[in-house]
Amino acid sequence: MIAGLRLSASASLIALILLCLAWEGWLAPLRPGGTLLILKAAPLLLPLFGILRGKRYTYQWSSMFILLWFTEGTVRAYSDSGLSAGLAGIEILLSLVFFVSAIFYARFSAKSS
């Protein structure tokens, strides 16, 4: 169970990074040619190595950190249209998968006292 949670958290975080890069780079940027919003993927690199290594503390703080991308996806799903709204829906889904995986990983990997 812990291995599955770790895998789903890692996969969803990597997929979210790739989605942010592709979305703002060439799939549906706000302006043709891309925008500086591509930089929204950079903060996602902060928890990446701790998540890949299974560090419980990283799972704890990044579960709250990821809610920024959930919020951005929610706002853009309602305000954008077309492909951008669909990509926002994927961003919402990936951030929720990460959030749930991270919370349960942190919970189940706690040392019994």
Annotate 92-113 with DSSP letters as a single string: HHHHHHHHHHHHHHHHHTSPP-
Tell me the residue type at 1.
M
CA distance 58 to 52: 10
Structure-token pair, residue 86: 């669909």
pLDDT tens-digit profile of 5-46?
999 999 999 999 999 999 999 898 877 777 788 899 999 999
Please state the separation of Cα 8 from the chain's center in Å: 11
pLDDT band of 83, cuts 50, 70, 90: very high
